[in-house]
Amino acid sequence: MNADRGALAAPTKRRVALRLLLFAIGACLFGVAIAAALRGNAAGLRAFARAAERPVELALLVLLPLVCLTLASLSFWVLTLRFGRVTCVEMLALLGGAWLLNYLPLKPGVAGRVAYHKSVNRIDVRWSLVVVVQSIVVGLCCFVLQATLASIAAERNWSEPGKVGLIASPLAAALLGLLIPRRGALTNGWRYSAAFAFRYADSLVWAVRYWLLFGVAGQPQGASTSAAIASVSQSASLIPIAGNGLGVREWMVGLAAQSLPVWYGKDSAVPLAFGVSAELLNRACEVVVALPVGLLSLWWLTRRYGRLKAQETLNAFEALRT
């Protein structure tokens, strides 16, 4: 018996050690990104200096992550409703709390959400994991499609509104998918269309954020470049190093902004230090909102969990009395 327990505990310890190592790598990459921004021949510091001169756009960069959080929550919500009853506000709080918790070394956000669904919503762990996998697949489809359309749009000698229309067109197609009949093999077809629509809308908001970000920082980019960088940035969160793509995203965005071909619509070359610094500014805007939203979400979820458990205890006592 003890040998069996030791055999089970050893892999767990190895996983914890691996996660701590990966977090350390992400933290080191983040630290090197800060150093690169500071030592980039003033190119890195220029992004922060110019952002301070445009408070309205900077405020939008702080607020738009809330829109992304809401759209991502709606995508998760639609997929989860197939397996249990979860309110929209509840899912928003779960992702808001996970957003903050995933900055911690062991990335407890996903595990916490799965445990909450099992305890409160009575959703089996396997179905919660199915939703996680489905969400990853939907996200990958969105990232690849957005990057592909950005490349096609960049090759066309179109106006910016025309490029925006092409890149945004899958959203209209996904909304039409909501009309799929809810019967037979297509019973859940509308659900996946809705999840894709919410997630693709989220990707488009990310593109707007990068369009604003580089404009605020002093290196304006077109629709194609902004959409392509947004796709690269979002895919960084899927690389299992540190939570929320910490350290990885900064370098992926910096390299993408530097290396995208001229026909992607870049007005001028973007130094690596400048691209990394711009993403550090974006990260700072995220953290400013993630901290209060995450704490408020965790407080709300804790209160809700406590009330439900208290009610269950009361019901158990009432059952014993009768």
Number of domains in the chain: 1
Q: Per residue of the chain (322 residues), give pLDDT as tens.
A: 444 344 333 458 888 888 889 889 999 999 999 988 887 655 667 777 788 788 899 999 999 999 999 999 999 999 999 998 999 999 999 999 999 999 988 777 778 888 888 888 888 989 989 999 999 999 999 999 999 999 999 888 888 999 999 999 999 988 888 887 777 667 778 889 999 999 999 999 999 999 999 988 888 888 999 999 999 999 998 888 888 899 999 999 999 988 876 656 555 667 888 889 899 999 999 999 999 999 999 999 998 888 877 666 666 666 666 6
User: What DSSP designation does 194 have?
Assistant: H
Q: What is the pLDDT of residue 142?
A: 95
Q: What is the pLDDT of residue 304?
A: 87
Q: What is the pLDDT of residue 312?
A: 63
Burial class (CB within 10 angstroms; exposed 0-12, middle 13-18, buried 19+) of 15 = exposed
DSSP track, 47-96: HHHHHTT-HHHHHHHHHHHHHHHHHHHHHHHHHHTTTS---HHHHHHHHH
Q: What is the pLDDT of residue 175?
A: 87
> pTM score > 0.85 for this model?
yes
Give the domain extent around 141: 2-321
What is the C-alpha separation between 96 and 301, in angstroms, rounded?
10
Q: What is the pLDDT of residue 179?
A: 80
